[in-house]
A = this chain, B = another copy of it.
């Protein structure tokens, strides 16, 4: 049997656009002689649809859209399409009103529906909010073969692989007991650094353990904070990767399944890339899709001459093209001479235009306006924040005036400890690197200047990020001769402490035991807690770690701990 993985990039809620994509891919698939086309989880509405699922008319429209697909895909092709299925028994039995399901379409009809069994409800996932669990193993007859159909999380409960269970049942084991020929898994699994290695190790383990080949289909594309990396794979019973679809690009991957030998074969298998290459590609796709799906073609960002805005400038350029990026330099009397030059050098390297709008006069005007109420006070944080807010207001004015997306440039380390100004440098529609710790910002920029980075960027020049930006000490330049390390521990220390607090849920005692000074750990913990009110108002930030601030970080503000 020949089957095809349609690694689609749906827009959330855009049923007609998504239907169109599925139909086009199905025609292409049929043209290649395949008998089955697989699409990702909830491919009809895109993942995650979130509270759109609470609108009954949206659910009805999905059922109608399935009929349209059924009418228009080549009739001899079987297509699996993900959709939200009404659960009419809900009020009677007391379960949730929907299932996260997969419709099997063939010959103009929805022939069968298979329901997701394991519903993730952790981190960014809220599936118990909407869905009831399917109770039956999903078995499909396809060209005389017995296909085990699973949806995303259904695959993620192998107690041997994880060393523990996360759910009471293991749908894979139940399918294997029923002697399926092949397991397919239809996913929408968001990118996290190194996650593909985990996915493939898990797939390999399951395929080998059960002696059953697995075809894994992943969604592609950026949806707000989440970036879906694709990299759908076919894994045979030896545990080897028979085929791998592209990373961070839509794809249509054809695979031959020999049911006698239980082997999978594909003529194409894209290689895996290293951490920096995948982070880079993820962030570029995240910016690109956020802009496109929100209807923006152009972006603007503030250029401080520092490393964060340098990286974001490079990402925006790769995502939208240099002709669509505008960098705005807003020097103050505290800006160092080199920061203007560094920012200009960066813009030249990247090929985008800049504007210079000095803020001294505006600072003076605020001083003047506030002179009465601020008399008898010493300049401090309030005045530093004013500078950042002037810049935020200028950038937003440009964004509003010209319909550009403002991309904010703050990194994860500063968002964690609140070393950023709400309504100032935090302003923007999207935070491109707010899940990238400062030490990783540096290493990404160094990588970008390497041969691999230049290739990924498609750069001619031998330098993307100007050397001086990489080597000078980081500074917010909000007062004379300020450097970040006046207020914060060195970033390598800080980032290690933050990873322990944020990602690993460690206690003060544990972090001190790992070798950090107690006073520093305590201070960082306090800073993290106190910055919660800022993070609550941050723009969506592209997630690249296991624990990003944003939809998967749900902390109280008015709290004491």
The contact of A370 among B94, B129, B159, B397, by CB within 8 Å, is B397
* A223-251 to B contact mask, C-beta < 8 Å, 1/0: 11000000000000000000000000000
**Using Cβ atoms and an 8 Å threshold, which residues of chain B touch A479?**
none
Given known A51-B553, A385-B400, A423-B427, contact A558–B368 (CB-CB < 8 A): no
Whether A491 sits at the interface, judged by CB under 8 Å, is no
Q: Which of A4-55 contact B (CB under 8 A)?
A: 11-15, 17, 46, 48-52, 54-55
Residues of B within 8 A of A531 (CB): none
Contact at B52–A555, with CB atoms within 8 Å?
yes
Known: A427-B423, A560-B12, A560-B13. A54 touches B505 (CB 8 A): yes
CA distance A368 to B359 in the complex (A): 11
Tell me how far the C-beta of A75 lies from the nearest C-beta in chain B, rounded to whole angstroms. 29
- Sorted nearest first, the 5 A-B pairs with minimum C-beta distance are A94-B165, A91-B164, A13-B561, A57-B507, A293-B558
A381 contacts which chain B residues (CB < 8 A)?
400
Q: Does any Cβ of B come within 8 Å of A126's Cβ? A: yes
Partner-B contacts on A (CB < 8 A)? 11-15, 17, 46, 48-52, 54-58, 90-95, 121-122, 126, 128-129, 157, 159, 163-169, 222-224, 289-290, 293-294, 355, 357-359, 361-362, 364-366, 368-370, 372-374, 377, 380-383, 385-386, 389-390, 392-394, 396-398, 400-401, 422-423, 427, 429, 505-510, 533, 536-540, 551, 553-561
Taking a contact as CB atoms closer than 8 A, the residue among B359, B398, B560 that contacts A373 in the complex is B398
Whether B293 and A165, one on each chain, are in contact in the complex, defined by CB atoms closer than 8 angstroms, is no
**A520 to B401 CA separation, bound complex (whole angstroms):** 26
Min distance, Cβ A145 to any Cβ of chain B, angstroms: 30
Q: Which residues of B contact A556 (CB under 8 A)?
A: 12-13, 48-50, 52, 223-224
Whether B11 and A558, one on each chain, are in contact in the complex, defined by CB atoms closer than 8 angstroms, is yes
In the bound complex, how far is the Cα of B91 from the Cα of A163, in angstroms?
A: 8
Distance in angstroms between the alpha carbons of A561 and B539 in the assembled complex: 21
A409 to B471, CA, bound (A): 45
Contact A165/B91 with A400-B381, A429-B533, A559-B11 known, Cβ cut-off 8 Å: yes
A1 → chain B, closest Cβ, in Å?
33
Q: How far is the CB of A248 from chain B (nearest CB, A)?
A: 17
Q: A362-B362, A539-B536 are in contact. Are A397 and B386 (CB under 8 A)?
A: yes
Q: Assuming A164-B91, A427-B423, is B385 touching A357 (CB within 8 A)?
A: no
Q: Is there contact, CB below 8 Å, between A422 and B396? A: yes
Bound Cα distance A437, B396 (Å): 27
Take A12-B559, A290-B558 as given contacts and tell me if A509 and B400 are in contact as well, using a CB distance cutoff of 8 Å. Answer: no
Contacts A121-B129, A369-B394, A393-B386; is A223 near B423 (CB within 8 Å)? no
- The distance in angstroms between the C-alpha atoms of A164 and B95, with both chains bound, is 10
Chain B contacts of A555 at CB under 8 A? 50-52
